[in-house]
Structure 1
Amino acid sequence: MFNLLISSREDSWKSGSFEMDKSRVINGYTAEEIKQRFKSLSPKVIEEIKSFPCLFVVEHEVIESRVGRITGIRVREASVVIKFELDPIFPPLAPGAIDALRSEIDLGRWELGNTHWAIKDEPIFEILERRGFVTPQQVDASLKLAAPSSPDPAPTPTPAGEFDTRQVFVVHGHDEIAKLEMAEFVRSVGLEPIILHMQASSGRTIIEKIESYSNVGFGVVLYTPCDTGAPAGCLTARYRARQNVVFEHGFLIGKLGRSRVAAMVKGPIETPNDISGVVYIQLDSEERWKDELTKEMRAAGYQV
């Protein structure tokens, strides 16, 4: 997930503050699901938005674009004041760089010619790194700089053979909405979600972080349509979860047991066919999944 701010003025990103008409805020060029979650700009929503990186662009890319973060949002009667910081770690993006990413960041046909603020559900750091605009070292250094505002929760030590029932481990792909909704639900029942964000590893590998935090008594795995794939020679691809999601699902089953891991499925998506006895819960719009997940947690000894 990332913010995209586009302005008609070349000096817009020099002062650290930008005012935009409300009609242009998280409206056009933003998917309906994302719009519905963030349009209110409530205090909780603002904190979520501030956790996303941001691209700062001038219409038609007449000058270089920059990467940074939104640091504050003040809502007025007819406008929104956005406080921001440009990230000194990332180099400026040359004119044409944003247009070159059009399909990867879901950029609308006329979007570069319109002053507005959109939120996109795409992994912008991964995209910039893959296209060679930034390096892995720059991404890690930037995430370390931002880490103090959203540190990993501390692992809760538990005796051998016992489980901590105050935390829930959440495995996710690129679907930020699903991740945020799951974290919100876990907190609403009085528990702490353990989510391995794409953040600085602090000298540990991903598997070491998983081992450190998976001493919890329950895991939730979000199967969201982030990738596509098909058998060799097949012309029809199906939506699949990220490979890290499938791997971490298997890891949690091996460590916690099948009864302590719930797989949540969003939309028509291919699921592993070699994990027998696993129950998949559909992430439905009516939110019946909350009752089903609560039952699974209670069966695992959680007081919810």
Structure 2
Amino acid sequence: MNEITIGDVTVARVEELHGPVGMTPEQFFPGWPDRDWQDNRDWLVPDHLGAEDRIVQVAFQTFALRSEGRIILVDTGIGNDKTRSAVPAWDHLSSGYLDNLARAGIRPEEVDLVINTHLHVDHIGWNTRLEGGRWVPTFPNATYLMPRLDVEHFDPSKNPDIANGVNAGAFEDSVEPIRAAGLVQLWEGEHTVDGNLRLVAAPGHTPGASVLQLTSGTDRALFAGDLMHTPLQVSHPDHHSCFCEDPATARTTRRDLLGWAADNTALILPAHFSGQTALEVVRSGSAFAIKDWGPFPAY
């Protein structure tokens, strides 16, 4: 089953894609010594690292939550039909995402809230879909929660350099139509979603990057967005991905939130972990260690 229960909240894992991301560890995590990858190869392969080609393996997925009578989506992936010339594998993608959402028992019009943990291209794509030649909200009855700092940072009218990077075109086709429809709610710092869920700023990967903390009864979970891209960052939290815009701040944020998860026995659900997706961690010296995997089945 791709659905679990955490306290009073049910969580479904909705896949868009999983597999090789087309980058070696040296490309994805610049400056990270190869010996760390070699020393951990026995458990990184095949879910997180290709056996022969050493290509990093990742997932693109949404966590669909049912909490206090509402359906809440955390991140919306890459999206179909969009021009993504910087990443050819995503260019005019045609995935079965909406079919997978339907298998989780969710129709787009039933979604109450969409949370974009940050506004990188692979977290906002299904905010919209192509209809009659126009980009329209995929979830027309939802409020879309977006970090104010990221909306300002990724707006090409305010930051022209964005138009030339991997996010080229994403603001125009996946954020602007949502704003035009009056569905965006901006937040910063902290934001209470409901009695179980709270958004917390987690800067570094992007200026407005965030995580979603779940506290329900004695259960805890952390929907970690892009806090980590590989489980090897649990034991090596000071290494960052090439996509982190402020590596020093990202390191501090990662250590702080891994500490919160360890101290609260929280299930961590990063956006991009393949395999079993979720994990628990414990403190281990000056870093952390994986306590257990699960409870989702491996991809």
Same fold (TM over 0.5): no
TM-score (norm 1): 0.29
TM-score (norm 2): 0.30
Higher strand share: 2
Q: Give the structure, 1 or 2, with the largest relative contact order (CA under 8 Å, sep 6 or more).
A: 2
Q: Greater Rg, structure 1 or structure 2?
A: 1
Higher helix share: 1
